[in-house]
Structure 1
C-alpha cells in the first residue's frame, strides 16, 4: 500500500514539475533532466513512471481533459435534479463561465500540437486523446439529453460536443495572444451561441 501511494506521489510530482517546465521553456526545448530537477527526482524515478516526455504530456493532457469534461458536466447539471431551463442560452452561459482557461496550459498544449503535427505517429495519438475528450463531453450531454433541448440546427449530441470543443479551441488561440480571460469567456459564449442556437 505504501509503495503504491509513494509511486502515485512521485508521478504527481513529476506531472506538476513537467507542467511548470513545459510552460516556462516550451515542450520542444524541455528535457527529461529538466523535469527531474524541477521535481527533485532522478532519471530512474522518471523512467519508472513514464517511457518518454511524450508519455508524460499525454498524462497531463488526460488530466486536463478530465477537468474540462467535468466542468461541462457541472454546467449542464448546475441546477441539480431539477430540469434545466428550456433555453440553451443558460447552458451556454454556464459552460462559458466555468471551462478551464489556463494560459500556461494553453501554451503547453499548443507547443505539443506543433510538435505532434510534424510527427505522424504522435499526431495520431493526440487525435485519439482529443476524441476521448469529445467522447467524455458527449457522454455528459447525453446524460441530460432528455432535459436539454438542442436547437433544430444541431442534429445530435456528437455535433454539439464537436461544437463545444471547436469553440474552446478557437477562443484559446486569442487568449494566448492577449491574456484576457474575461474577453475569452465572452468570445466563447458568442461562439457557442452561434454554433448551437438557431
Structure 2
C-alpha cells in the first residue's frame, strides 16, 4: 500500500484559514467551534491546534491575511502608470470599494470581533496591535503614491482611508449596493496632490 502524502504545512494552514472564514461567516465567531472548522478543512482538531492555538489566533491570522491581500491590492494598483494623482486616487478608491464588496463576510466577522475586543482587555491588546499594522499599511501606500494637497499629515490621510473603508463596509452590510461605486475615490481625489514619480521609489 502506497503511503498517503501529507500536504505541506503552508497548504494545511491555508485550508484551515479558508474553513475558519467560512465557518465564522456561517456561525459567527462565538458560535463557531474548532471541531466544525477542522471538519470543514478536512483535518483533525489536533491539526488545527498544531497550527493555531485558539479561535482568537485563527481570527488574528485571518486579519493578517486581509492586511496582506490589501497590501498586494494597493501595490498592484500603484504599480500601474498614472498621469496624475487624481487618476491614482480614483484607482485606489475603486479598488478598495470593490474589495469591501468582495469581502463583506470578513467585515461582519470584524465587527463581531471588535465587540469581543472591547470587553476583553487581553484580546483588545492583540487587536489594537493588528489595527496599528493596518494603519501602517495604509500610511505606506499613501506615502508611496501621493503628496496630499491638504495640510493633513500622511498618518491622518491614512486613517481617513481606513475609516472610510470600514464605514462603507457597514453600510454595504446593512444595505448591499447602497454605497456608490466611486464614492471612496470621490472623497480621496480632493486630497491628492502631485503623484510621485515611480522612479524615485
Q: Sort the TM-score into its range (normalised by shorter chain).
A: 0.7 to 0.9
CA distance in 2, matches of 1:167, 1:179: 16
CA distance in 2, matches of 1:4, 1:68: 31
CA distance in 2, matches of 1:114, 1:70: 28
Are the aligned partners of 1:96 and 1:189 in contact in 2 as well (CA < 8 Å)? yes
**What's 1:48 paired with?**
50
User: Whose RCO is larger (CA < 8 A, sep 6+)?
Assistant: 2
**What's 2:156 paired with?**
159
Are the aligned partners of 2:15 and 2:41 in contact in 1 as well (CA < 8 Å)? yes
**What's 1:98 paired with?**
95
- Structure 2's unaligned 5+ residue stretches are 194-201
Residue 121 of structure 1 and its aligned partner are, at CA, apart by 1.4
The alignment of Structure 1 onto Structure 2 pairs a total of residues equal to 185
User: Quick check: 1:23 aligned with 2:25?
Assistant: yes
Structure 1 segment 6-85 matched on structure 2, within 5 A: 6-79=8-81, 84-85=82-83
**What's 1:189 paired with?**
185
Are the aligned partners of 2:29 and 2:113 in contact in 1 as well (CA < 8 Å)? yes
- Structure 1's unaligned 5+ residue stretches are none
Residue 193 of structure 1 and its aligned partner are, at CA, apart by 4.5
**What's 2:147 paired with?**
149
Task: Using structure 1 for the length normalisation, give the TM-score.
Answer: 0.83
CA distance in 2, matches of 1:73, 1:163: 19
Root-mean-square deviation (Å):
2.2
Task: Using structure 2 for the length normalisation, give the TM-score.
Answer: 0.82
CA distance in 2, matches of 1:114, 1:191: 28
Residue 78 of structure 1 and its aligned partner are, at CA, apart by 2.0
After the TM superposition, which of the residue ranges 70-79 and 48-57 deviates more from structure 2? 70-79
